Structure 1
Amino acid sequence: MKLLPAGTLAATLAGAVGALAFGSVPALGSGEDPKPGQCTAAEVAELRAAGDNFADVCFLPGQELAGIEGFDVALDPGQVDRSNNLRLVANLPLTGAFKGEGAYGTDLAFKGDYAFAGNYEGFTVYNIEKPWKPKRVAQVVCPGSQNDISVYRDLLVLSVDSSRSNPTCRNESQSASEKSSWEGIRVFDISKPWQPRFLRSVETACGSHTHTLAPSKNGRDLFVYASSYSPSEDQPDCQPPHDFISVVRVPIAHGERAKLVGEPVLFPDGGNPGGVYSSDTSGCHDITAYPAKDLAAGACMGDGILMDISDRAHPRVIHRVTDEVNFSFWHSATFNNAGTKVVFTDELGGGAMPTCNPVVGAARGADGIYDIVDRQLVFRSYYKMPRTQSLTENCVAHNGSLIPVQGKDIMVQAWYQGGTSVWDFTDSANPVEIAHFDRGAVSDTELVLGGSWSSYWYNGYIYSSDITRGLEVFAMDDKRVASAKKVRMSRFNAQSQPSYNG
């Protein structure tokens, strides 16, 4: 594939990581702030424009990687390493408007025989009736990173967390310091998946980095929890302290009537103020709802939270945890099917750094497994995919989903250039990997953003949205997940977990 040339995001990331690797950031526990000039103002702006948390490589505490160059890596660029029970069966590369630099593939959602893949430039619809032979049936150009995506019945929702000139799909990038700029969610009609139709946009404070769907109990409305963070005094629509989320109500039969209905405060005390290692909380990165259990778990920068969502319009925090030693940035969450555990991910380095190596260790940039005991989160252990990655591979815990195995807690998860890992956390204190698929670095000379953004199980197969390679489909041949292949879902959004009992 084509590498990004110098002067682009790749070079910015490489420069930032190079500075980190050679000690321009204070050692862990030093109490010092990152030194000025680690990233220039232009580099910070470029990383922020790229979306996700990439600019955090410049600011997050605890990013010391001195000595990172002193380890061996087994794979050459492009070389594949996989377990015998996980095989690639299909790949559809990014194409058309999504083939250029900066048109990164993001999240996935599913409905019937269709997969919907977000992209910084819009979204793609795939027919996956034959998972081993997926077909591209629609591409919607609608710029606005990161276009986090979800579906419910005939509605599709997109998150926009980059400041735009207007709320339509015909927009341009525009400074967030301009009051007229827009960020928020977009709603589409997908009653004809091959012909999506724009319905409505709703502006939300600080935009919508991600969002979560929580259908009402009467089946009439879809509540959308829009998560965003990092306010700034020079942004009129994203003012500090931003300790809330935005709640948008979308009438299921009339998506064009979507509107903002609330901004519930989750952190009345301001949340985690941050420290030597952990981030300060100014909003949430991601929320996963488990509507059948009236629960949600929020990954909120410096905090992990458990919420009661029995009143969909008014989610309420019932417990909060922090990890000042090993969690730098609380990124996402996954429940087990019983609703008795939550797996939180730590996106150390904002997804832009090489953190899968012995220097960073097995407890940082990893997953934290928590049992839910009397509606409180109790830490049990960490899990990190066990293969060492190179200095030019961005690798850290990222998006995954539960595999519907009755009586077991098994998860599939993306690790950017660390590939896809399948692991069992039935024993919360002793998680173990049971399958993997990994490639060597996109480049062995410079850090080029790539790898799997999301890896999800859907109706018997694993689907991966690769940042630069497009849609990939995997088959897992293992008796430990055989029962999961019998579970059929009419739709799936990883951040709105279904119960496999009905």
Structure 2
Amino acid sequence: MISAKVRGALLCTVLLLVSACGAGAQPASETSAPTAGPQETSPSPSTPAAIPSGEVMTSDNVRLVANMPKVAPLDKEGDFNTDLAFQGDYAYVGNFGGFAIYDISEPTKPELVSQVSCPAQQNDVTIYDDLLILSIDQPSGGEECDSDPDGRAWEGLRLFDVSDKKSPKYVGAVATDCGSHTHTMVPDGDRLYVYVSSPGPEPGSETCPPPHELIQIVEVPLKSPESAKIVAKPDIFPERQSSDFASGCHDITAYPEKKLAAAACFGDGVLLDISDPVAPKVLQQITDKENFQIWHSATFNNDATKVVFGDELGGGGQPTCDHNTPVTKGANAVYDLVNNRLERRSYFKIPREQQPNENCVAHNGSLLPVPGKDIMVQAWYQGGVSIWDFTDSASPKEIGYFERGPFPGGGGIAGAWSAYYYNGYIYSSDIQEGLDVIEINDPLTDPAKQVKMDDFNVQTQKSY
């Protein structure tokens, strides 16, 4: 059984262990690391009129333009939609049951092209040329999709050739210590380096032995991806990690053009120099024990002068967007990057209080490509999708939102897992409701519609 302390503490590792997610959910009452600048917070949440189950509420500048419900074989109980990636006219959607490919050439009328049954947690997905990569954070009997699900001998990365979108082909796999919770691509000529993030250790496990204060770097030769292998296991922590939940990292966002990466590593944020992608160097390790519990994700602004870190308080299985939870917890922290040093300026949390049966906390998001502005769209599970402006680092504010009422049936695990902006629209991967396509029309965000991307993997940032 997976350790409740190590992996059950994280919703997006074992979503069914909600009771374990709740254990020890309150952050330790310790003083945060010294920071520069004011520590302003977003306003206290206001209680909205309750939204009936399944109904949609939006700000005036946001509208839902399409929804693609999950369909067989990726619609069984526990087949939760997870992360997203984009390339050309296609969106790739991870799912605990496998992955799906959608034609989004007409964003208001997306079409399902194909689905691959490949059960695993959490099947986070990236795309590069014709290569699709899945993160597998669940031991199984072997590397292929039809391996014994009750086995305990393998977890890591699975690789697929998607040159034929209607018929993806499995091409190989790489076993990694403690699996792969998420992964980050760093292209380098005819090779692709993949940074593997995973929680651990799990004493007694075949796949996740102690110790585990590290990340793993996989080299994928693009002409022969089946020969991919681990080439480095750097320990990126000059000091011991601060998390009581797990060692290792949850998410790493690379910005190859700037030769930087920001790692969210459960109890710590780590700023990295990736000039040599196989040997990242630590520039700074920070923590915030007073306000952050699980350092979940990181996003640079376009100029790489700021980093937004998100806190997944309670692992995502709790209603932390309520009046009982301070606005600095389960939120985002905005840091300015000054002379390669992170300085905290503020926190941001959605200003709408959620109902007691709605799990809600900061989760996956991305920048809107608005020149001269720092604007982000972000998923908050049942808190929905929020568009917020952090151009003024000390005073971030929400400028638009989309959310549904509580998932029918009295709560449970539901809501937006990832929400990303791609070529004029916001795409949201909803755990239960499928793929949402959302449009925002606002003077602040309209310039983003002029920016066209050829592809988009949120953890590999590119300038615009």
Do both share a fold (TM > 0.5)?
Answer: yes
Residue 294 (structure 1) aligned with residue 294 (structure 2) = no
**Residue number in structure 1 paired with 2:167:** 195
**Residue number in structure 2 paired with 1:314:** 279
CA distance in 1, matches of 2:17, 2:109: 33
TM-superposed CA distance for 1:447, in Å, is 2.9
Higher mean displacement: 328-337 or 306-315? 306-315
Residue 101 (structure 1) aligned with residue 77 (structure 2) = yes
For 1:98-151, what per-residue CA distance to the aligned partner results, in whole angstroms no more than 9, with x for missing partners? 111000000000000000000001000000000000000000011111001001
Q: Is contact 2:9–2:21 with CA below 8 Å preserved after alignment?
A: no
TM-superposed CA distance for 1:259, in Å, is 1.0
CA distance in 1, matches of 2:264, 2:120: 22
Residue 346 (structure 1) aligned with residue 316 (structure 2) = no
CA distance in 2, matches of 1:52, 1:377: 35
Q: 1:323 to 1:56 in 2, by over 3 A?
A: farther
Q: Give the match's secondary structure for 2:124.
A: strand
Equivalent of 1:142 in 88, 104, 118: 118
Q: Is contact 2:10–2:316 with CA below 8 Å preserved after alignment?
A: no
TM-score (norm 1): 0.84
CA distance in 2, matches of 1:421, 1:326: 21
**Residue number in structure 1 paired with 2:134:** 158
For 1:146-177, what per-residue CA distance to the aligned partner results, in whole angstroms no more than 9, with x for missing partners? 0010011111110000111110011232354x
Q: Is contact 2:4–2:20 with CA below 8 Å preserved after alignment?
A: no
Equivalent of 1:222 in 173, 192, 204: 192
CA distance in 1, matches of 2:4, 2:145: 31
TM-superposed CA distance for 1:446, in Å, is 3.1
Residue 467 (structure 1) aligned with residue 431 (structure 2) = yes
Q: Is contact 1:44–1:58 with CA below 8 Å preserved after alignment?
A: no
Q: 1:40 to 1:486 in 2, by over 3 A?
A: closer
Residue 248 (structure 1) aligned with residue 218 (structure 2) = yes
Q: Give the match's secondary structure for 1:350.
A: helix
TM-superposed CA distance for 1:49, in Å, is 7.1
CA distance in 2, matches of 1:120, 1:316: 34
Q: Give the match's secondary structure for 1:169.
A: coil
Residue 264 (structure 1) aligned with residue 234 (structure 2) = yes
TM-superposed CA distance for 1:78, in Å, is 2.0
TM-superposed CA distance for 1:59, in Å, is 3.6
Q: Is contact 1:121–1:141 with CA below 8 Å preserved after alignment?
A: yes
- Unaligned regions of 5+ residues in structure 2, if any? 29-46
> 1:286-435, aligned counterparts within 5 Å?
286-435=251-400
TM-superposed CA distance for 1:186, in Å, is 0.8
Code of the residue aligned with 1:370 in structure 2: it is Y
Q: 1:476 to 1:47 in 2, by over 3 A?
A: closer
Q: Is contact 1:50–1:102 with CA below 8 Å preserved after alignment?
A: no
Equivalent of 2:59 in 79, 83, 89: 83
Q: Is contact 1:209–1:226 with CA below 8 Å preserved after alignment?
A: yes
Q: Give the match's secondary structure for 1:167.
A: coil
Q: 1:289 to 1:45 in 2, by over 3 A?
A: closer
TM-superposed CA distance for 1:280, in Å, is 4.9
Q: 1:258 to 1:476 in 2, by over 3 A?
A: same
- Unaligned regions of 5+ residues in structure 1, if any? 1-38, 65-70
CA distance in 2, matches of 1:214, 1:45: 29
Code of the residue aligned with 1:292 in structure 2: it is E
Code of the residue aligned with 1:461 in structure 2: it is Y
Q: Give the match's secondary structure for 1:212.
A: strand
Residue 489 (structure 1) aligned with residue 453 (structure 2) = yes
Code of the residue aligned with 2:183 in structure 1: it is H
CA distance in 1, matches of 2:181, 2:129: 22
TM-superposed CA distance for 1:197, in Å, is 1.2
Q: Is contact 2:201–2:246 with CA below 8 Å preserved after alignment?
A: no
**Residue number in structure 1 paired with 2:102:** 126
CA distance in 1, matches of 2:10, 2:323: 30
Q: 1:358 to 1:47 in 2, by over 3 A?
A: closer
Code of the residue aligned with 1:138 in structure 2: it is S
Higher relative contact order (CA 8 A, sep 6+): 2
CA distance in 1, matches of 2:256, 2:388: 24
Deviation >3 Å, runs of 4+: 43-56, 58-61
TM-superposed CA distance for 1:333, in Å, is 0.6
**Residue number in structure 1 paired with 2:203:** 233
Q: Is contact 2:13–2:137 with CA below 8 Å preserved after alignment?
A: no
TM-score (norm 2): 0.91
**Residue number in structure 1 paired with 2:41:** none
CA distance in 2, matches of 1:296, 1:52: 31
Q: Is contact 1:51–1:145 with CA below 8 Å preserved after alignment?
A: no
Higher mean displacement: 376-385 or 45-54? 45-54
CA distance in 1, matches of 2:461, 2:443: 24
TM-superposed CA distance for 1:196, in Å, is 1.2
Q: Give the match's secondary structure for 2:448.
A: helix
TM-superposed CA distance for 1:47, in Å, is 7.3
For 1:384-442, what per-residue CA distance to the aligned partner results, in whole angstroms no more than 9, with x for missing partners? 01111011101000000000000000000000000000000000000010000111111
Q: Is contact 2:27–2:291 with CA below 8 Å preserved after alignment?
A: no
